[in-house]
Every structure is written in structure tokens, then in C-alpha cells.
């Protein structure tokens, strides 16, 4: 079997099953697991999948550049944002992560809601400039342009000085097996620090992130209060996810 044919079959399996198990694929194709793992390495290098222990998962489209992500699943992010703002109590302090879903949350905050928002995202802060009753605190540091957020030692130090009632966390991958993941190690570390400064953390999970994975672990499901998602509740991956963490439906 030609390498291109193997790749097509592996991609078909990934799209059909939402995962590739190297041992199973090797048996089905009559190949060694080493051959399958080599194929998966090459596919991952081209951005076609995310390698995980024992196989591969779909790569999250949320690791694209910031401008590209603003055009991905816009309606889904708005649904998640509408559900997420219901978690924000009047008078509370909220840490709002960076990213395009967090930007949708900023836009969805009711005009009469009085609260304090802490963010390391200049775009989120700018989106709240016109909000009449939200007080905004910006955490500074080196600008990580991919996600338009402050990062690095200065941002971590600033984050360690705040406290909040709620953290609305953005990730690029949400999977019942691999957990909550994102595409950059420093960004993952910053998210962990922010989560440690809030009484509760909820994950913003539009459907394109559910069932996908990225390279770096953020938090375990036991560290979050729930996942706000518009993903199909009847899908296998969402049912399995619901066994691991509380799901807050965002279906309009």
C-alpha cells in the first residue's frame, strides 16, 4: 500500500471515529504499529492531526492565527458567550481569558451589569471601553500575538496579585481523554495561574473545540466547575465528556 493511500485511510478513520488508535489501525491495514506511528508523526507535522498517546485526535481549528479564528464558528461562540454571561453575578469580579470566544463574552455582557473584569487581553479590554458599568483591569506583559494576550514573567507576576469570583477560561481542545489543552506552553501556564486566582473556573467550549486536542495540557477536569458548550449533547464524545465534568448547555 502506498503512503498516500495509508494517509487517506487514516484521515478517513479520524473523520469517521474522531480518533485514530495506532494498534487498531495497524491491525486493520496489516502494518506494524511503527509504520502507523511514523505516518501519524508526518501527518501531525503537516497539521492534519494531533498525536496523543496510542494514536491521534483531530487537531483544533482554534490554533489558527487570531484573525482566522475570528471567522471560525462565530454563531457557536455567540451561543457559548450568551450562556457564559449568565454565570456572572452582579457585583462580582471576573477574570476573562483572551481569544475570540472571550471577545464574544465581552460583547454579550448586559449593559446594566455592574461587575469588574480582569483580563490579560488588550482586545477584550478594548471591547469593554464603551460598557457603562463594567470596571476593567488589564494585566500587562509581553504580547503573545497569536492569541493577542499578555504573557511571560511580568504577566504571571501580575496575575498572582489578583483574586476573582469567576474565571472564564478559553482553550483550544476539550476531549474526555486528553482533557483541556492549548497550543502554546507559556499560554497554558498563564491559564493555570489565572485559574488559581479564581473561586470557580468555567471553560468556554464552542463545538469546534470539543473532541479536538492541542499539544499542551492546561487543567484537569477536576480543577474546573464546568464546560459551557454548544456541542451536540447526543454525540458520543459529549456524552463521555459529561461523565467527566459538568456541562452547561449553550444551544440558543
Instruction: Using alpha carbons only, give the angle 105, 123, 173 rounded to the nearest 5 degrees.
Output: 60
DSSP state of 8: H
Q: Does residue 246 have a pLDDT over 60?
A: yes
Task: Write down the pLDDT at residue 1.
Answer: 64
- For the chain, domains (ranges, CATH) are 3-59 (1.10.10.10), 66-249 (3.40.50.1360)
Is 175 within 8 Å of 96 (Cβ atoms)? no
Contact 226, 248 (CB under 8 A): yes
Residue 210's pLDDT is: 94
Residues 112, 103: contact at Cβ < 8 Å? Answer: no
pLDDT surpasses 70 at 64: no
Residue 63 clears pLDDT 70, i.e. is over it: no
68 falls in which pLDDT band (50, 70, 90)?
low
Lookup: cell for 36: 502507523
Residues 100 and 92: their CA atoms lie apart, in Å, by 22
Cα distances (Å, whole numbers) of residue 124 to 41, 93, 132, 244: 36, 15, 15, 30
Predicted local confidence at residue 95, as pLDDT: 98
pLDDT in tens, 4-25: 788 888 888 888 888 888 899 8
Cα dihedral angle (15, 19, 24, 28), rounded to 10 degrees? 10
Task: Answer yes or no: is pLDDT of 208 > 60.
Answer: yes
Amino acid at each position: 500500500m502506498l503512503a498516500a493511500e495509508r494517509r487517506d485511510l487514516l484521515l478517513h478513520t479520524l473523520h469517521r471515529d474522531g480518533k485514530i488508535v495506532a494498534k487498531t489501525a495497524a491491525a486493520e491495514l496489516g502494518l506494524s504499529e511503527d509504520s502507523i506511528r511514523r505516518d501519524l508523526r508526518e501527518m501531525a507535522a503537516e497539521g492534519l492531526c494531533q498525536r496523543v498517546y496510542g494514536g491521534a485526535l483531530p487537531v483544533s481549528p482554534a490554533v489558527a492565527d487570531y484573525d482566522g479564528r475570528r471567522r471560525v464558528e462565530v454563531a457557536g461562540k455567540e451561543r457559548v458567550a450568551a450562556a457564559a454571561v449568565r454565570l456572572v453575578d452582579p457585583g462580582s469580579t471576573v477574570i476573562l481569558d483572551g481569544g475570540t470566544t472571550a471577545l464574544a463574552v465581552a460583547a454579550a455582557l448586559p449593559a446594566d451589569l455592574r461587575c469588574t473584569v480582569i483580563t490579560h487581553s488588550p482586545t477584550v479590554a478594548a471591547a469593554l471601553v464603551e460598557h457603562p458599568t463594567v470596571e476593567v483591569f488589564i494585566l500587562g506583559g509581553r504580547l503573545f500575538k497569536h492569541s493577542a494576550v499578555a504573557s511571560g514573567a511580568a504577566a504571571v507576576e501580575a496575575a498572582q496579585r489578583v483574586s476573582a469570583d469567576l474565571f472564564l477560561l478559553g482553550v483550544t481542545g476539550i476531549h474526555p481523554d486528553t482533557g483541556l489543552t492549548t497550543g502554546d506552553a507559556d499560554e497554558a501556564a498563564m491559564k493555570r495561574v489565572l485559574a488559581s486566582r479564581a473561586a470557580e473556573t468555567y471553560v468556554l467550549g464552542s463545538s469546534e473545540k470539543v473532541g479536538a486536542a492541542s499539544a499542551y495540557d492546561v487543567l484537569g477536569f477536576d480543577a474546573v466547575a464546568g464546560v459551557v458548550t454548544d456541542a451536540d449533547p447526543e454525540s458520543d464524545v459529549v456524552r463521555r465528556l459529561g461523565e467527566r465534568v459538568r456541562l452547561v448547555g449553550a444551544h440558543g
